Each structure stands twice: as structure tokens, then as C-alpha cells.
Amino acid sequence: MPKQVKKIIETLEANGHEAYAVGGCVRDTLLLRMPEDWDVTTSAKPEQVKALFSHTIDTGIEHGTVTVMIDHVGCEVTTYRIDGEYEDARHPKEVAFTSNLAEDLKRRDFTINAMAYNESTGLVDEFDGLEDLKRGIVRCVGDSEERFTEDALRMLRAVRFAAQLGFTIEENTKEAIRKLAPAIAKVSVERIAVELVKILTSDHPEELRMAYELGLTAVFLPEFDVAMKTEQHNIHHLYTVGEHTIEAMRHVRPEKNIRLIMLLHDLAKPVVKTTDEEGQGHFRGHTQGGADMARRILRRLKFDNATIELVAKMVKHHDDRPEEPDAIRRMFSAIGLENVPMMLEIKRADLLAQSTYQRESKFAIVDNLEAHYRECVEKQICLQKKDLSVNGSDLIAMGMKQGKEVGLVMEQLFEAVIEDPEMNQREKLLALAHKLITPFI
């Protein structure tokens, strides 16, 4: 336990209150995992907590949560509470404080998340959380259907914990999800997106299949359901579009952007699929279509613009296979040199999730891209207009009038440099500029 948390608990106890570390931090510590954050649950009322510490923030005061700052580290301290009636499968209408720890543990979602610990009492485990932890089981505290009816997000959280911890969802809990999955439509997309990202960036992104089987993705990611049902009928592939997606995700780092790109890279395939006389499936246009679809999906899930633009761009170019140096430079210019290493990882993962047909030659193309990437970095090859050795002011100094023609000439200069990087020497480029601007002066 971090010393700040220890100090908070000891201070509360010294003033006649009960206090425990609770939830995720207890679970993760027992699993020898590093907790994301430490939460404290206490019998003290929020005002009493605030009176005991010099620096506190009213994080969720109406729900009894105060953030206590010690040595610049924040710890959420929440008063023991009972959640009242739930409205709309989302929010408790009101919360009531209680002086009974067991009551507080009862409102928590899963047995593995409903344990409390402090040094004076040891582990408080009212619902056999430790046993479920040992056996690797996600099980609701109390009646599953009731708990999911109170807050539908818990259904997706069950899948998330299975994915993060490599656990299985207990059978009754699973049945309840299957039955109540449509209710997740009532949960805000922001909360859904948080859990989705946690599933994708976990050690077991394949658990997204479970979210599909239980009927959850049908609500917030129906495009994935279609992919799971789309056969590829193609010599390059072994799996449905959905299974290929899952396999591809497993082959990239557990980082948000790249896992999102793998999730979305082929989702337009079902839409553009055609079948030839030999029965082979083809997917012309799936990259542009996929980029548009990725944008729509991520906007719907309220991701930020930077994420949306990066993902769409990488989806659009994920299947580019340039072999000639100028075509390679054009691709690097389109995605940005800084994104090339990520693109190499995407392409290799994509190949590993395909059949082994022509695998070696496919990898050779990626290796060639990587060699060119190194060269571009080493030689500081110009791949962006701003790195040209001539700029708009030079053209104006040569006699051009300010206006869109300047942009057009710059465009042509850039094109010449992409064709031949040697052209990006000031003398050479000025000479070319001279020829190009003649019609405009």
C-alpha cells in the first residue's frame, strides 16, 4: 500500500472512523498487478473527511467522494454508501450514507471488486471474492439480473475484467448479460467507450468476441457483428472478417490508437464485398470505405478529433503496397513519417492474421518499406511541403503576386521533390521555380 494511502487510513482511524482500501486496488494487489489507482472507503462523512486533511477536492461530493491530496498524490475517499433506486439502468436516483462496510460492499459490481483491506482488520471479503480471484471468475455480487438492471454498463465491465485479467465470466452472470444486453443502449457512449478501450488494450482483446456473443456489440458496434458474420472466401484469408480483426489486434501492442486501427481496418469489407465467377471474394474500396466508416464509428463513440483523424488516415492506407521509391515516399508523405513505424506494425499484424499464401513476398514488401523509412530518416528526406528548401516568400520575391497561384507552384515543386529528393537543393529548386512561375509574371 502506498504510504499516502496508509496515512489517510491511519488518520481516519485515529479520529474514530473506519477506513479501508477497496475495490480495484485490493483486487490488483492480491493478483500481484499494479493498481491503476487507490480508492478508500470510510465510515466518515465527507465533511468529516475534509476536516481531517489540509488539501481536499470535492470530486463527487454528492456521491460522497472527496479526493485527498497528500504529497501531490490524489486518493479518492468515499463514504460508505447504499445506492438508492436506479433510474434508466444508469444512475442511482439518490445515495444514502451508511456506517456499515458490508452495505457498501454489497453495492459493488463483482465479487472480485467487493473486497476491502486495512492493516488493523486485514481482508474483508463478504462475497467470496478471494475464491473467485483464485479461480479466475467474474461473478456479480448478488443477483446478476438485478445488478445489470440497476446499471447496464456492468455487463460490459464484466467482459472488460475478463479481458484484463484473463478470467471467465461465471455462467449465471453470462446468462443475465445475454438476456439484458439490449439495455446497454441506455448507457452513455462515453462510459461505453471507456470500457471498450480497456477491452481493446488488454492482454485479451479477443474477449471482444464475448461481447459479440453476448449481444453487447450489437448495440454499440453493430458493424463488428456484421464482420463476424462475413466470410472472406479468399485465398489470402482463413477467417471471417471479424475473426481476422481479432487476430490482427492480438498482434499489435496494447496501445489505444493502434488497437483501434486494427479493430476498424477491415470493417468496410462486408459492405464492398463482391464474389467472382470462381467464388473468390473481393473487397475493392474497403480502405477508403473503412476510413469513412472508422470516422463515423469513432465520432458516434465521441472520441477526440486527433484520434479520429489518425485512425481514419491509417485505415485508409493500411493496404497500400508501394514498391517503387517515389511511390513509397508518396505513401510516407500521406501518413506522416512519424507514423511509419506504426504502419509497419499494422501491416505485419495484418499479414500474420491472414493465410500463409505468399506470406514471404508480402513480408518482403513491408521490409522494403522499413528500409526506405530508415533511409528517409537518416537522409532527412523531404516528405512535407514545409521542409522544401524554397517557400512562398521566395516565389513572391521572384516576382509572383500573392495568391493561390503561389500555392499551385509550391505544389508542383513538392511533387518534383517527391519524384526526386535530390531536387530539394535551393539552387535546383529555385531554377525550377523560375521556369514554373514564368506564366504568372
Q: HEC states along 284-312?
A: CCHHHHHHHHHHHHHHHCCCCHHHHHHHH
Stretch touching ligand ATP by CB under 6 A, among 89-97, 146-154, 250-258, 322-330: 146-154
- We find the least distance from the C-beta atom of residue 190 to Mg ion, in angstroms, to be 17
- We find the least distance from the C-beta atom of residue 208 to ligand ATP, in angstroms, to be 17
Asked if 108 interacts with ligand ATP (CB under 6 A), we say yes
Q: How many Cα atoms sit within 13 Å of 309 on the Cβ side?
A: 7
Tell me the residue length of the chain.
441
Grid coordinates of 47: 465533511
At which residue does the C-alpha cell 518534383 appear?
416
How many Cβ atoms sit within 10 Å of the Cβ of residue 259? 23
Asked if 138 interacts with ligand ATP (CB under 6 A), we say no
- We find the least distance from the C-beta atom of residue 110 to ligand ATP, in angstroms, to be 7
Residue 76 interacting partner from Mg ion, ligand ATP, none (CB closer than 5 to 8 Å by kind): none
The identity of residue 319, as a single letter, is D
**Residue 41 or residue 333: which is nearer to ligand ATP going by CB?**
41
Phi/psi at 70 (nearest 5 deg)?
Answer: -135, 125
Residue 113 interacting partner from ligand ATP, Mg ion, none (CB closer than 5 to 8 Å by kind): ligand ATP
d(CA 440, CA 436): 8
d(CA 293, CA 280): 24
- We find the least distance from the C-beta atom of residue 199 to ligand ATP, in angstroms, to be 11
- We find the least distance from the C-beta atom of residue 60 to ligand ATP, in angstroms, to be 12
State which of positions 12-51 bind ligand ATP (CB under 6 A): 23-24, 36-37, 39
Is the CB of residue 41 less than 8 Å from the CB of residue 80?
yes
- We find the least distance from the C-beta atom of residue 76 to ligand ATP, in angstroms, to be 9
d(CA 188, CA 438): 59
Asked if 207 interacts with ligand ATP (CB under 6 A), we say no
**Residue 158 or residue 366: which is nearer to ligand ATP going by CB?**
158
Asked if 76 interacts with ligand ATP (CB under 6 A), we say no
How many Cβ atoms sit within 10 Å of the Cβ of residue 401? 10
Instruction: List CB contacts of 188: < 8 A, sequence separation 6 or more.
Output: 90
- We find the least distance from the C-beta atom of residue 154 to ligand ATP, in angstroms, to be 5
**Residue 113 or residue 333: which is nearer to Mg ion going by CB?**
113
Asked if 81 interacts with ligand ATP (CB under 6 A), we say no
DSSP code of 140? B
d(CA 344, CA 321): 11
Grid coordinates of 126: 463478504
Stretch touching ligand ATP by CB under 6 A, among 57-65, 105-113, 341-349, 402-410: 105-113
Asked if 151 interacts with ligand ATP (CB under 6 A), we say yes
Residue 154 interacting partner from ligand ATP, Mg ion, none (CB closer than 5 to 8 Å by kind): ligand ATP
- We find the least distance from the C-beta atom of residue 303 to ligand ATP, in angstroms, to be 19
Phi/psi at 17 (nearest 5 deg)?
Answer: -105, 165
Asked if 78 interacts with ligand ATP (CB under 6 A), we say no
Q: Which positions touch Mg ion (CB under 5 A)?
A: 24, 37
**Residue 113 or residue 257: which is nearer to ligand ATP going by CB?**
113
Q: Binding residue for ligand ATP (CB under 6 A) from 111, 113, 118, 424?
A: 113
Q: Would residue 71 be called left, alpha or beta, if left means φ above 0 and alpha means ψ between -120 and 50 degrees?
A: left
How many Cβ atoms sit within 10 Å of the Cβ of residue 232? 23
Grid coordinates of 213: 456473443
**Residue 23 or residue 421: which is nearer to ligand ATP going by CB?**
23
26 closest CA partner among 108, 147, 86: 108
d(CA 355, CA 367): 19
Residue 151 interacting partner from Mg ion, ligand ATP, none (CB closer than 5 to 8 Å by kind): ligand ATP
Asked if 132 interacts with ligand ATP (CB under 6 A), we say no
List contacts with ligand ATP (CB under 6 A).
23-24, 36-37, 39, 108-109, 113-114, 151, 153-154
